[in-house]
């Protein structure tokens, strides 16, 4: 069983075709769409979680690639909005990797994105809602 | 004790631009360096500051009369209920009120993304807010339903009135249980996973005037970025709380009720915040000037983080059950270091109250006074205080 979050990039020529339907019907792939967008040039992008038996997953990936769809691994990113942060520090004791930490003795919050594992615990621990999650396609 | 100066004399110095002001942080090292006597002669005013979640806050709004006129029995601002059981078109918008459509903790832990405090922040940010009002009709007030978008400018009168702010010291919250708990002191991880405290310590207003000798009813202050006043002692004001020899309360003691014109305040110093699994609160910025009328008042302002102790309380059992049990005491100097030791375990700490913002407020108030934009006031009436003989023996005296 494979379960993976990926970003699909659809060229304009195929953007109107019902791929998700085909994935389900032909390949037994469960596609959980997290985010989808079609830009003004009619190119599509979709953040989707695909799960299927190993062989069927491989077959589904081959099928999508043969139709010109680019499949990229999903990378999530945590954005710390410094302007909204009120330096209360509530996130710093919740963050498991010290990516959000307090500079002392200044008592100001800092964020180190290299240490962040995108567990998203900070999102709701932050009373001022100064942390946001961003979904990006990795190259 | 020999009086060094009066408030009138300080105001004269402010007018002449000759006043000497220090923040409550600066005064600690000044006294350590020069001693009490010399510093007291030199410094006229010490400014304090605090910026933390203060749930007992809200605003009185007069929404202005409509045509035809309306009583307004039920009022909502962006879906948040404002109490309208007072005169026609007067309401009180409480900081912690949440929309009736918010699922609260029915899906635990609730997110509480929006509430009264956020409405206040939105109004201050110049955003449009949806006003919905209903009422029964009367001969004098016939209109029964109203829906319109308003801004702070459309509101006739708006003043912040916070029944309980500026707690003089507070608990350090921890969790002894085996599951995560969600409190007004933030998320507390199991088995002493973290310790959250909430005071500006040596910068906090009431920790610089331990027996309320200068802060009283009518004291002019920095409130939410504008000018406000102490209206009364706050709810739960408890001057008789246990104190150290130096007079510092060893837990929550005095509180202040504050008032001020919302229209001159700033969203920078009044912020809506959401505590997961608990609710909405408002971060309030307050700064109080302390006139150095004699050496005792100066000694109170010179109290440092090392000398202020806070009780460690278990929020999984002792706090909710209302037992007085504490797990020990710890100084703000230790809390600020980032870790404290409880029952032999190193526990990371988080302040909740923002020290850099508190410092910024104390510094802003200092600049207002130095520029002659802010004068000091005599209190109209004293706050209830405690009979307490302060022992300054522990304070260093260097000349």
Mean pLDDT of B263-275: 98
Q: Is B89 exposed, middle or buried (0-12, 13-18, 19+ CB in 10 A)?
A: buried
Cα B223 to Cα B50: distance, rounded to the nearest angstrom? 10
pLDDT tens digits, B212-242: 999 999 999 999 999 999 999 999 999 999 9
Token pair of B78, please?
């962006």
Q: Do B354 and A106 touch (CB under 8 A)?
A: no
Mean pLDDT of B318-347: 97
CA distance A94 to chain B (A): 8
Cα B327 to Cα B316: distance, rounded to the nearest angstrom? 13
pLDDT surpasses 60 at A118:
yes
pLDDT surpasses 50 at B394:
no
For chain A, say whether B356 makes contact (Cβ under 8 Å).
yes
Q: Do A93 and B51 touch (CB under 8 A)?
A: no
For chain A, say whether B50 makes contact (Cβ under 8 Å).
no
For chain A, say whether B186 makes contact (Cβ under 8 Å).
yes
Confidence of residue B395 (pLDDT cuts 50, 70, 90): very low
pLDDT surpasses 80 at B285:
yes
Mean pLDDT of A105-130: 91
For chain A, say whether B322 makes contact (Cβ under 8 Å).
no
Mean pLDDT of A26-50: 91
Closest chain A residue to B111, measured at CA:
A124
CA distance A19 to chain B (A): 35
How high is the pLDDT of residue A138?
62
Report the Cα B16 to chain-centroid distance in Å.
Answer: 31
Cα B298 to Cα B314: distance, rounded to the nearest angstrom? 35
Angle between helices A54-66 and A19-27 (to 10 degrees): 140
pLDDT surpasses 80 at B19:
yes
Q: Do B350 and A90 touch (CB under 8 A)?
A: yes
Domains parsed from chain A with CATH numbers: 2-68 (3.30.70.260), 77-134 (3.30.70.20)
Residues of A in contact with B271 (CB under 8 A): 86, 128
Token pair of B181, please?
């708990």
CA distance B89 to chain A (A): 31
Cα B221 to Cα B211: distance, rounded to the nearest angstrom? 18
How high is the pLDDT of residue B213?
96
Is B198 assigned a catalytic role?
no
Q: Do B281 and A127 touch (CB under 8 A)?
A: yes
pLDDT tens digits, B34-56: 999 999 999 999 999 999 999 99
Hey, how many other C-beta atoms are within 10 angstroms of the C-beta on B252? 18
Mean pLDDT of A68-79: 87
Mean pLDDT of A110-130: 90
Specify which residues B129 forms β-bridges with.
B150
Cα B278 to Cα B35: distance, rounded to the nearest angstrom? 46
pLDDT tens digits, B143-195: 999 999 999 999 999 999 999 999 999 999 999 999 999 999 999 999 999 99
Q: Could you tell me how many CB contacts below 8 A there are between chain A and chain B?
A: 74
What is chain B's mean pLDDT, rounded?
A: 96
Residues of B in contact with A101 (CB under 8 A): none
For chain A, say whether B56 makes contact (Cβ under 8 Å).
no
Please confirm whether the linkage preceding B342 is cis (ω < 30° from 0).
no
Cα B207 to Cα B247: distance, rounded to the nearest angstrom? 10
Q: Is A105 exposed, middle or buried (0-12, 13-18, 19+ CB in 10 A)?
A: exposed
pLDDT surpasses 70 at B396:
no
Say if strands A108-111 and A100-103 run parallel, antiparallel, or are unpaired.
Answer: antiparallel
CA distance B145 to chain A (A): 34
Confidence of residue B398 (pLDDT cuts 50, 70, 90): very low
**Poorest-confidence range of A130-139, B192-201, B203-212, B260-269?**
A130-139
Angle at B342 between CA B336 and CA B345, to 5 degrees: 100
Residues of B in contact with A89 (CB under 8 A): 350-352, 354
What is chain A's mean pLDDT, rounded?
A: 91
| C-alpha atoms less than 13 angstroms from C-alpha of B104 in its C-beta half-sphere | 7
| C-alpha atoms less than 13 angstroms from C-alpha of A56 in its C-beta half-sphere | 17
Q: Do B273 and A128 touch (CB under 8 A)?
A: yes
Mean pLDDT of B105-133: 97
């Amino acid at each position: 069983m494979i379960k993976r979050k990926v970003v699909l990039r659809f060229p304009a020529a195929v953007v109107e075709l019902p791929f998700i339907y085909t994935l389900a019907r032909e390949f037994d792939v469960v596609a959980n769409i997290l985010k989808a967008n079609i830009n003004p040039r009619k190119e599509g992008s979709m953040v989707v979680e695909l799960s299927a038996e190993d062989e069927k997953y491989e077959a589904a990936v081959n099928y999508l690639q043969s139709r010109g769809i680019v499949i990229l691994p999903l990378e999530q990113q945590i954005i710390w909005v410094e302007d909204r942060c009120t330096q209360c520090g509530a996130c710093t004791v919740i963050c498991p990797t010290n990516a959000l930490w307090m500079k002392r003795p200044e008592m100001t919050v800092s964020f180190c994105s290299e240490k962040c594992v995108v567990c998203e615990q900070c999102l709701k621990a932050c009373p001022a809602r100064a942390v946001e999650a961003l979904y990006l396609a990795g190259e | 004790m020999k009086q060094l100066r009066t408030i009138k004399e300080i105001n004269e110095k402010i007018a002449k631009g000759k006043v000497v002001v220090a923040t409550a942080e600066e005064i600690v090292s000044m006294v350590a360096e020069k001693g009490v006597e010399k510093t007291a002669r030199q410094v006229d005013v010490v400014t304090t500051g605090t910026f933390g979640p203060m749930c007992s806050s809200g605003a009185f709004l007069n929404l202005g009369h409509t045509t035809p006129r309306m009583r307004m029995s039920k009022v909502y601002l962006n879906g948040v209920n404002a109490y309208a059981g007072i005169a026609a078109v007067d309401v009180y918008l409480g900081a912690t009120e949440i929309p009736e459509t918010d699922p609260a903790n029915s899906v635990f832990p609730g997110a509480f993304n929006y509430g009264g405090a956020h409405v206040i922040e939105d109004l201050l940010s110049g955003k449009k807010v949806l006003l919905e009002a209903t009422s029964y009709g009367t001969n004098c007030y016939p209109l029964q339903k109203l829906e319109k978008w308003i801004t702070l400018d459309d509101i006739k009168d708006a003043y912040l009135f916070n029944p309980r702010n500026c707690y003089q010291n507070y608990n350090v919250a921890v969790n002894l249980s085996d599951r995560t708990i969600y409190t007004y002191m933030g998320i507390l991880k199991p088995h002493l996973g973290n310790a959250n405290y909430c005071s500006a310590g040596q910068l906090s207003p009431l920790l610089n005037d331990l027996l309320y000798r200068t802060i009283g009813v009518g004291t002019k202050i920095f409130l939410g970025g504008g000018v406000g006043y102490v209206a009364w002692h706050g709810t739960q004001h408890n001057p008789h709380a246990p104190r150290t020899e130096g007079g510092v309360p060893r837990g929550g003691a005095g509180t202040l009720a504050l008032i001020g014109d919302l229209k001159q305040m700033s969203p920078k110093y009044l912020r809506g915040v959401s505590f997961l699994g608990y609710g909405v609160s408002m971060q309030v910025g307050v700064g109080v000037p302390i006139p150095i009328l004699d050496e005792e008042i100066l000694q109170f302002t010179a109290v440092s983080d090392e000398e202020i102790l806070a009780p460690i309380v278990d929020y999984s059992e002792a706090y909710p059950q209302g037992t007085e049990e504490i797990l020990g005491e710890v100084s703000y100097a230790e809390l600020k270091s980032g870790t404290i030791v409880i029952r032999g375990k190193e526990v990371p700490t988080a302040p909740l109250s923002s020290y850099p913002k508190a410092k910024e407020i104390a510094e802003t108030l200092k600049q207002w006074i130095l520029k002659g934009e802010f004068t000091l006031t005599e209190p109209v009436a004293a706050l209830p205080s405690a009979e307490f003989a302060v022992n300054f023996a522990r304070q260093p005296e260097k000349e």
